[in-house]
Structure 1
Amino acid sequence: MIDDPAAAGVSLDPVRARLLAVLAEPGSATTLAAQVGLSRQKVNYHLRALERHGLVELVEERRKGNVTERIVRATAASYVISPAALASVAPDPGRAPDQLSARWLLALAARLVREVGELLTRSAKARQRLATFAVDGEIRFASAADRAAFAEELGASVNHLVAKYHDEKAAGGRPHRLIVALHPSLTRAADEPAPDPAQGPTAPTEE
């Protein structure tokens, strides 16, 4: 989880994002240069920037004659930029809550990323497993009326479960965050390639 604005900026550079992907396995500037098509000097420059922000770490140093080869790797298998990296402009779910607002849904999702990212960091330091649960699925509605009826029934079911299991006075109880979301699936034309994360975002269409 990247929550430092400077580190976020470094990771979003297309060349550095590609290096991070390659560095899932340890490598040196020399081996990386051949993989990404850059000079060793340019690769070294980018690696130093990534290392300064904790995105790359030194694995070992190998002596070859008068040259010391540094072997590095990415500090994680994957990265997510936390909304905390843009704290001053991050969406606030406490502002104008509206169950039918896409912007409010986005604010909730941003809070989810931020909070779960922080919990993952804490659990890793404590060497404890983080207890979470998620459901991901897709449903095709025959009509807008069916979608509205589904949302109403889903809301009632969730409220029933919350009322059944919520215990405000439970000794030793721990609060949990619950988010239920419904939004249109993204669709792409059959000949449209999936976006390359290293090349920046594209403009998807909605179903």
Structure 2
Amino acid sequence: MLDVTVIEDAEAAAVSLDPVRARLLAELAAGPASAAMLAGRVGLPRQKVNYHLKTLERHGLVELAGERRKGNVTERLMRATAASYVISPQALAAVQPDPDRFRDQLSARWLLALGARLVRDVGSLLTGAAKARKRLATYALDGEVTFASAADRAAFVEELTAGVSALIRKYHDGEAEGGRPHRIVVAVHPEVRPEAGTGPEAGTGPVEAPAGPEATH
């Protein structure tokens, strides 16, 4: 079972968003089960559960884990193909966000468009790497910083922008024979803490815009 997989097909995305099927996916991510076992957990007749399982299987969201005999019946044990799923913007190709339509480093919506492109591109790369049975070379950095003031945040963003831009200038070689371009995305945004309530202090409401450019490349 994969830790996470990206759903690129529109029909598969629609199937996964059905509340009953989403519940079945969650149950099967915890371990293999048959339609009869799942029927008791989700409160549906076995026949209906079996119908939903066949639909999920047809779209590659669940797979056969094994079979077992129970009396005169052979039960199919199914399992989820991944522990979690992410729906790619490719599933809504006609209306997917396009960060190239505009560029605004202070726009949260532009940041969201960049994030959507990241999910789409990495999902496509993962699919290709899996078919080629090759590993995909990626890197990610995740951290947290608490700023004492908006001025400190602006200064941090300015230094981050300068540092990353300097590294890009140092290592970028657009004329390298056989070189492969890589996408770099750096983002700064408030932490979301819904348990603390709402408002700027909780990170769930609007916050003042940074005084400097947002660190997104």
TM over 0.5: yes
Q: Which among 17, 32, 57 is matched to residue 12 of structure 1? A: 17
Gaps of 5+ in 1: 193-203
Shift of the alpha carbon at 1:165? 0.8
Alignment RMSD:
2.0
| CA positional deviation for 1:39 | 2.3
1:97 aligned partner: 103
Q: 2:118 aligns with which of 112, 116, 125?
A: 112
Are 2:42 and 1:43 equivalent residues in the alignment?
no
- Counterpart in 2 of 1:30? 36
Residues 21-75 of structure 1 deviation map (CA, whole Å, 9 limit, x = unaligned): 2213221101112233322122112112212212112234445455332222112
Distance 1:84 1:102 in 2: 21
* Residues 23/89 of structure 1: CA separation in 2 closer, same or farther (3 Å cut): same
Partner of 2:172: 166
Does residue 141 of structure 1 match 2:147?
Answer: yes
Tell me the SS of whatever aligns to 2:117: helix
Identify which of 179, 183, 201 aligns with 1:177.
Answer: 183
Unaligned runs of 5+ in 2: 1-5, 208-217
Letter in 2 for 1:116: V
The structure 2 residue matched to 1:129, chosen from 123, 129, 135, is: 135
- Cα distance, 1:76–1:182 mapped onto 2, change above 3 Å: same
Alpha-carbon distance in 2 for matches of 1:31, 1:113: 34
2 CA distance for matches of 1:157 and 1:38? 57
Task: Show the counterpart of 2:211.
Answer: none
Match status 1:69 vs 2:68: no
Give the number of equivalent residue pairs.
Answer: 196
Work out the CA distance in 2 between the residues paired with 1:159 and 1:70.
Answer: 55
Q: What is the letter of the counterpart of residue 52 of structure 1?
A: R
Percent of paired sites with the same residue: 70
TM-score normalised according to structure 1 size: 0.87
After TM superposition, the score normalised by the length of structure 2 is 0.83
